[in-house]
Structure 1
Amino acid sequence: MPPPLSYPALKLVLEYLDVKKRYHITSRNCALQKIDKKIPLRVGTLIIWKDSSVSLDDLEYSAEYTKRKINREELLKIHVVNEKLKKYLEERPNIHVDHVGIYSVKFYEQVPVKLNLITNKLHTFCCSDFRNSLPMIDSRSFPLKKLKLTQEESIDVDHPIIHTTEDVIFQFSKRNELIRGIEKLQRKKLTIQNIMNGNVDAVRIIKDWMKNGREIGTEYLLYFPFNVGIKGVLKDLKREFDEFRNNLKGVNVRFLKRAPRFSIPMCPTLKIIIYGTEIQSKDRTVYQLVLKVVSTDE
């Protein structure tokens, strides 16, 4: 019979064991439970869906069982299993997660399991305000590597997390919802996806860059699902900056056909170039508008 694992070896095995296997193994062994609480729980993807469920890779807590048409005995059995899992998760001092997705949660109180998460990436989808999810995110997570916000309501960008996150993506789910204060955002890189009518005021962004300046290499990428969307924004830019239209010779890009391009002076050494292009994604074409600060030598 092989000798038992030493504590350091057992700790290492448990820490990197699949979360579902780890839960089922430790929940059946009192000795392991004492050790387990001291060892970080590591998860690839954690998804919170409304007030209904929390899934950690392939381990799931669900509150939906109360809506099933089953007998009382079976319902009680499921309730006991769920409450045991909920207790296990909420007792963790922290859970290390690569990617956290929070979907359709309007208020923090809705979250069915209260967790403390250390994460690299956060995506909120159709939540009233991404700040409502922050009580779950441990301060050691910041600055985040990636933040993606898909909101039904307007996004207020004046927040330290948006200022400091390495990669920020805004995405829209409906039209006529502006990103408030985006023109004042002091980010070098920004991606905005699924732009529809009334979501982004590109003219206001450029005017602020011209007035207050931005560092070289600042680049905003605006993605439109339909050609008509990018054409509308380019029309607004043409109306405001027609005198700065430029073919942008030397920029090695396949430009959007018959679309205006611009080179706008910002200071003696820097200029803003603006152009549209097509991007082929997995299943369709999207239209990209590039706003970029470059040297006047380019």
Structure 2
Amino acid sequence: MALPLSYPGLKCVLENLEAVKRVHIVGRSPGLRKIDKLIPLCLKYFYIMSNDMAINKLYITCDRDEVNFKMNRKIFIRQRVETQEDKMKKLINFFTCGRSIIHVGSLNWNKSSLPNFLPVGMKFRVNSLAAPPWQFDTANPFVDPRSFPLKTMVTIPHTSTFDSHMVTTAATLTLLSCFSVTITLEELKKLNNKRVEFERIRFSKIDIIPLIKYQIETKEATGTTFVVTTDEKLFINEKIREFEQAFGEYRSDLDDVNERFLPGSSRFSIPINNESRIQVYAIEDPEEDGRWKIFIKPVSDILGL
């Protein structure tokens, strides 16, 4: 007969069990609940709106008289007569088991009404956060201070975006823009991120060239790598032409860069000071369905990187 697991063994199993499976197993075993509450709950992905939520690969939608669960192409429906708010509160309580700290790899926060659903004092310890600027003040109290600086922040350009510590201190910042905006030189100067990625910015203006000229004038490199991503090759060609007009004298083969350059596109090595320069080049990324990217990357002349 198999011997029962010791507490350290059971703790190890529960801690490494996929979160949704773990919650369902523990929910059916009163003996496990006491132990489970002592073990951190780690979610890879958590998304919540006013009437739906996603936990890892489980998607839950609260309709008027029912709750729909969808996972691995299977759909389960449960009839419920409570209000949507009550249903959401019960779901959150069921999956979090009253914990005050929830570890989340990626938290997607989109609604100011979310605090109505969340238990008082709950905190999310997150690696990555996605939220629009007008939700920063609402989301911030629910993010454990030990999460900062974030590994990744995903948001959209807005007048308040560049004044938020969540944005400017994240290791990687992703800015999405589905409409025409201008990201000014002064806004770019506020960013202290190691990497800033611009996506869906086909109709937007980004003052990258003025930023490089500013660095040349001040002889101060920011140390931030900028990446412009698009699925429009014409957009990439247009941006490369702008670099040709501004920095044509600094064209370079960049033989020391191990990348699959976009064939026929110009590449640049722009000196900032005696210790650093900025490399500019375009690539086609096979890992992202052939999307095109422009890299504006600071490198050290001293280290030869």
User: TM-score normalised to the size of structure 1?
Assistant: 0.75
1:295 maps onto 2:295 in alignment: no
User: For residues 261 and 108 of structure 1, what CA distance do their matches in structure 2 show?
Assistant: 48
1:66 aligns with 64
User: For residues 228 and 171 of structure 1, what CA distance do their matches in structure 2 show?
Assistant: 19
* Preserved CA contact (<8 Å) 1:196 1:224: yes
* 1:270 CA displacement: 3.1
User: For residues 14 and 257 of structure 1, what CA distance do their matches in structure 2 show?
Assistant: 50
* 1:259 CA displacement: 4.5
2:144 aligns with 138
Residue aligned with 1:21, SS? helix
Which residue identity does 1:13 align to in structure 2? V
1:157 aligns with 162
Question: What fraction of aligned residue pairs are identical, expressed as a percent?
Answer: 25
Q: Map 1:212-231; keep pairs closer than 5 Å.
A: 212-215=218-221, 218-231=224-237
1:234 maps onto 2:240 in alignment: yes
Which residue identity does 2:139 align to in structure 1? S
Unmatched tracts of structure 2, length 5 or more = 68-77
* 1:255 CA displacement: 4.5
User: For residues 171 and 143 of structure 2, what CA distance do their matches in structure 1 show?
Assistant: 17
1:273 maps onto 2:271 in alignment: no
* Preserved CA contact (<8 Å) 1:216 1:294: no
User: TM-score normalised to the size of structure 2?
Assistant: 0.73
* Preserved CA contact (<8 Å) 1:273 1:294: no
* Preserved CA contact (<8 Å) 1:152 1:174: no
* Cα pair distance change 1:140/1:247, threshold 3 Å: closer
2:81 aligns with 76
* Preserved CA contact (<8 Å) 1:145 1:167: yes
* Cα pair distance change 1:53/1:278, threshold 3 Å: same
User: For residues 66 and 139 of structure 2, what CA distance do their matches in structure 1 show?
Assistant: 29
2:34 aligns with 34
* Preserved CA contact (<8 Å) 1:222 1:288: yes
Which residue identity does 1:140 align to in structure 2? R
* Preserved CA contact (<8 Å) 1:220 1:292: no
* Cα pair distance change 1:250/1:5, threshold 3 Å: closer
Which residue identity does 1:54 align to in structure 2? M
Cα deviation, 1:45-87, whole Å, max 9, x if unaligned, reads 2222x3222222245554x222669xxx943389887654333
* Cα pair distance change 1:68/1:43, threshold 3 Å: closer
1:20 aligns with 20
1:94 maps onto 2:94 in alignment: no
* Cα pair distance change 1:127/1:51, threshold 3 Å: farther
Which residue identity does 1:159 align to in structure 2? S
User: For residues 16 and 269 of structure 2, what CA distance do their matches in structure 1 show?
Assistant: 52
* 1:282 CA displacement: 4.1
* 1:206 CA displacement: 0.7
Residue aligned with 2:43, SS? strand
**Number of aligned pairs?**
288
* 1:203 CA displacement: 1.7
2:212 aligns with 206
User: For residues 303 and 59 of structure 2, what CA distance do their matches in structure 1 show?
Assistant: 56
